[in-house]
Structure 1
Amino acid sequence: MNDTPDETSNTSKNDSYAAGLPMGIAVGIAIGTALGIALDNLAIGLGLGLAIGAGLGAAFMGWGASKKKDG
């Protein structure tokens, strides 16, 4: 028998956990770009979007960590 652990099942869980922050930042930048265009001030919109995205990414990572503990 092979005593090495099956890493394929853990890889997808770790990848989805690690993708939380970049995914949140991408969504935030998209929201910020829309806000910046609507407010006619792209710099402020991108700054707000980056802040919103970092918050969303942290929330996604926290959600992924709690989901990882449960199962």
Structure 2
Amino acid sequence: MDTPAHIRARLAYGSRRDVQYPPEVLADLRRDYHAARLAENIRRVVKESGPFTAEQKMALACIITGAPMGVAA
């Protein structure tokens, strides 16, 4: 996965009027940028927090996947 800064630079470049990436490409870059930022934040918080309990892992997995609580995908 690219770094958020790299993806943000590609998004900024593709948004320029003289370049103008197709809307689908820009939407994909926005999604990738947010996913990369979230991944960085998750890594940082997990490193700071120490081990999680099984219940905490399940709850966090449900939040990330959008699954109902108790049904991690």
What is the TM-score with the length of structure 2 in the denominator?
0.41
What is the TM-score with the length of structure 1 in the denominator?
0.42
Which structure has more RCO (C-alpha within 8 Å, separation ≥ 6)? 1
Q: Which structure has more helix as a fraction of its residues?
A: 1
